[in-house]
Amino acid sequence: MDSSRETTPSDPAAPGAEPAPSDLRAALADSGSVGLALFPLGVALGVLVVHSQLAWWWAPVFAGVVYAGSLEFLLIGLVVAATPLAQVALTAFLVNFRHVFYALSFPLHRVRGRWAKGYATFALTDEAYALTTGASAREWRGRRILWLQVLCQGYWVAGAVVGAGAAALLPVQLDGLDFALTALFVVLAVDGYRAERDIPVVIVALLCALVARVLLPGQMLPVALGLFTVALLIGRPFARKELTRA
């Protein structure tokens, strides 16, 4: 026996060491809490599709091809009203403009392969961004990030199919399911705060939201994100000085 090889608790060959979980199993654990919100939200989308007098199969089409959360709920009304494509495109740009800021810090460089990078870009949702840019995700591999995004979309599509099927078979009015989106964002915000404990950033975010609400309530989200980004850029030199002193 070669006794020169030193073993550590994290070494797979060490006696009693637990094997590292696969990327799929790790992604299942990472996405479990988010899936509890994405699935019922997808159910709400499917119910809304059927109640809007669209065929049930539009639900998985919206969830699988559009896959843009709040935009999908808005898109149903635009489709039913036969809205011109130019207006639909402008609406989609304004609603999803926040993804421009997400791309600045999303760890796409860890994802290998052209097709994998393409899907990771397509599936960059609020939930995926929040989970993959936190402090605990800094060492995640590209496969784990991809599996997380696949699972998140799977929860969403499955919920849409179940909701559309249930609404087609049992045409009952279900109210309140759309609140799952708000509840999910609250959970993600709380998890982000627990990971960083940065109170000034939370206060700045709230102030940006309030200013955007007062100035341009119809475009609150892109305005708030723009103000928040400017605030972070202004505060970055001060944050660097604090880190240097520490």
- Residues 55, 71: Cα–Cα separation, whole Å: 19
Q: What was the pLDDT predicted at 115? A: 93
Token digits of residue 7: 């073993």
Mean pLDDT of 144-161: 93
The answer to whether 33 and 147 have CB atoms below 8 angstroms apart is no
Whether 14 has a pLDDT exceeding 50, the answer reads: no
The 10s digit of each residue's pLDDT in 160-204 is 999 998 887 876 565 665 565 566 567 666 766 666 666 777 788
Interval 33-76: pLDDT, tens: 888 888 988 888 888 888 888 888 999 999 898 888 778 887 88
Taking residue 177's Cβ as centre, other Cβ atoms within 10 Å add up to 18
Model confidence pLDDT, tens digit, residues 109-125: 899 989 999 999 998 88
